[in-house]
Amino acid sequence: MNNSILNIAFIGNYLPRQCGIATFTTSLCEAVSAAHPGLSCFAVPITDISEGYEYSSRVRFEIEEKNLDSYRQAADFLNSNNPDIVCLQHEYGIFGGEDGIFILSLIRKLRMPIVTTLHTITQNPTGKQRRILAEIAERSSFVVVMTEKAVELISTVYAVPLSKIRLIPHGIPEMPFIDPSFYKAQYDMADKTVLLTFGLLSPNKGIEQVIRALPEIIKTRPETVYIVLGATHPGLVRHEGETYRLWLQQLAADLHVEKHVLFRNRFVAPDELKEFLVMADIYITPYLYEEQITSGTLAYSFGIGNAIISTPYWHAAELLADGRGILVPFRDPAAIAKAVIHLASNEGERNTMRKNAFLSGREMTWPTVARKYVDLFTEARLTYHSVLSPDQSARSMRGPVGARLGSLFSAEEQNELPRLKLDHIKRLTDDTGMFQHAVYTLPNYNEGYCSDDNARALILMVLLAAQAEKADPELDRLAGIYLRLLHFAFDESSGRFRNFLKYDRTWVDEAASEDSHGRVVWALGTCLGRYANPGYQGAAATLFETGLPVVTRFSSPRAWAFSIIAIHEYLRRFPGDRLVDGIREELSLRLFALYQAAETTDWPWFETYLSYDNAKLSHALILSGNDTGNQAMLDAGLRSLTWLMETQTSPQGHFRPVGSDRVYNKGEPMPLYDQQPLEANSAVSACLEAYRVTGDLFWHREAHRAFRWYLGGNDLSLFVFDAATGGCHDGLHVDRINQNEGAESTLAFHISLSEMKEADKNLLLEEPPEAQAAGAEKGAGGTL
């Protein structure tokens, strides 16, 4: 090394930011520093979130991605600190401005040599992309690419002189050649054929192609496990949530291979990653597009000595040539299945492929790559001259497999739930209450408010507050708004809660429904039973005491059911209230009698039809039967819920709620549309109550099945939950999603989500295989 190189600055994303370039920049910086202890290395990362990252002490200056002034300030900082070399990592998407043009404002001001590593090179760039990359290359002493294909593209498409181009492969960790069985035993996978894909999840990775290949693979190799290792790309999570991962999980369930697909949803540290790579019998990169010039995950798996199956994107086609791997066509699950079965069944060929890859990868280890970079830095320093003046512009598991992996894959990772996002609920809420309808995602002022939805909103706030680790003033604020509207809704002259409130805060002059009154009572009982705010409890108590007795004069079974659930919540905190307990007994016996009168062998239900919020009837009977020790009542509740869930199951096995086009009368075809989120919500709640009462994991799985309706587990395979807004579409039409995201739908989803999160948190033990077999036997009564 030339002693004139003393100080190197690395510009690019940096750990703990979760992306491939952050891993590369950090690994290169650390490898250079380790190979040459006399060097001073520091990093200047691009930060894409306002709160920043907990960077290591290597980081000296942060560039705000979308702030043009920040790039100029970074240039001033670098010129002031005067490193001998700037090593720039380039990909269009990591810098601010259209096509990352802001980076030019930085490099135009630098007064030291630049060596740029190109991570993305497109074959058909836009005019702007070509000009940007051409200027970066012209201002750089050298550009580094990682494949021969990249040399060809950068020299022909972008007219970069070959004298400026250097080929240095993607670095990989140093690791001895180890047999996969070495770590398999540690993870209880000694008898498994392990397939692995790792890296940040995004739709272009093609994971679904491997999942679609699994049914054919497991016919021949039933011991196969496919591990999808890595978090969803943070940028994708910010814009779409976990939509892609949840879709993959649903796809696996639809293909009945969910027991063979294991998701490890987090950013994996290098040491743990090595163990997973060694453990894999076959590594798969099923990417969907040819124009990928480099893949860090492919480089890592190759260098560590994996047998690899890949689609023929540029990097893979080059790296896996001459027997170093198997290439399969894009989007061809059958070809993937054939290749996996062949390799898994031919240990000798697989081991030869592994050894060839490992031996070829010795020139890719980070110490070797670091030495090549330092040699290039030295050459750049010795030959540096400012080609352009600073101000010059460019020219331009479950089951038999999953049950054994509990220590490695958590239940949450295998059956993940979306993150809580209350943005749309807040959007629909003003200082009066929550608007009942939306035009797309905008509150519909013309329809005003209703007590029904504000009761649901209060229930949600109470559930979330009870689950929170500490008091949340925002939940308290929202709960106060909804409770205030319910207080305003009470009509003292009739003893009833009015339902529809106009935007001008005048009530619609019509008799309030019994069901809406019952729903308000349910919210008040929940507030009294669970909420810790004494002021809100006091306000709710007055309304509850007045509004509950009126329900005994109602004829609506759903109003009875809502009130029974309210009483259950209330008696959690005030079990000695004999008056309220007496009302529960009266309403429960009425509901039970209704069931007994209507039940037949082929229609074990409360009425001769199904209408809306159906599972609430079963839910109430299960609660009362359990709370009062009435076994016959409990059995009836479970029997009716079993029948309802069977009725609401499609031939493909997913949840299919009764449509709202008309009432489903006994003896008539079941209406399939429009399907409403409320039905999934009531099914989730009832199944979770059945699980709490019986302890039978069958009901926990049924709750998950109903919840997946929101996440694409439905007749149209479409997401009803909107991860971008935090809202929920108003239902499924026969051919499309209802684009409006009103209060009832959004609250139905979020109540279901909060209940599922609470239930999953309390499910501490993995289900043993024998319990699964028992749970599959759906029966009646308390023997489920």
What is the rounded distance in angstroms from the CA atom of residue 536 to the CA atom of residue 443? 27
What is the rounded average pLDDT of the residues 543-554?
95
> pLDDT tens digits, residue range 383-409?
874 443 334 333 332 232 232 233 333
Cis ω before 179 (30° cut-off from 0): no
The per-residue pLDDT for 415 is: 55
> Above pLDDT 70, what percent of the chain?
92
- pLDDT of 62 strictly over 90: yes
What is the rounded distance in angstroms from the CA atom of residue 278 to the CA atom of residue 283? 10
Confidence band, pLDDT 50/70/90 cuts, at residue 181 = confident
The per-residue pLDDT for 396 is: 32
Per the DSSP assignment, residues forming a β-bridge with 664 are: 610
The per-residue pLDDT for 780 is: 35
3-state SS, 195-217, equals: EEEECCECHHHCHHHHHHHHHHH
What is the rounded average pLDDT of the residues 90-118?
95
What is the rounded average pLDDT of the residues 750-766?
80
> pLDDT tens digits, residue range 215-235?
999 999 999 999 999 888 777
3-state SS, 509-552, equals: CCCCCHHHHHHHHHHHHHHHHHCCCHHHHHHHHHHHHHHCHHHH
> pLDDT tens digits, residue range 498-540?
999 999 999 987 767 899 999 999 999 999 999 988 889 889 9
What is the rounded distance in angstroms from the CA atom of residue 676 to the CA atom of residue 733? 9
User: For the whole model, what pTM was predicted?
Assistant: 0.56
> pLDDT tens digits, residue range 602-612?
999 999 999 99
Pick 766 or 304 by higher pLDDT.
Answer: 304
The per-residue pLDDT for 194 is: 95
- pLDDT of 665 strictly over 50: yes
- pLDDT of 314 strictly over 80: yes
What is the rounded distance in angstroms from the CA atom of residue 302 to the CA atom of residue 341? 20
What is the rounded distance in angstroms from the CA atom of residue 169 to the CA atom of residue 79? 30
What is the rounded distance in angstroms from the CA atom of residue 67 to the CA atom of residue 257? 46
Most distant pair of Cα atoms in the chain: their distance: 95
Q: Which of 329, 292, 279, 293 is nearest to 309 (CA)?
A: 329
The per-residue pLDDT for 397 is: 27
Confidence band, pLDDT 50/70/90 cuts, at residue 128 = very high
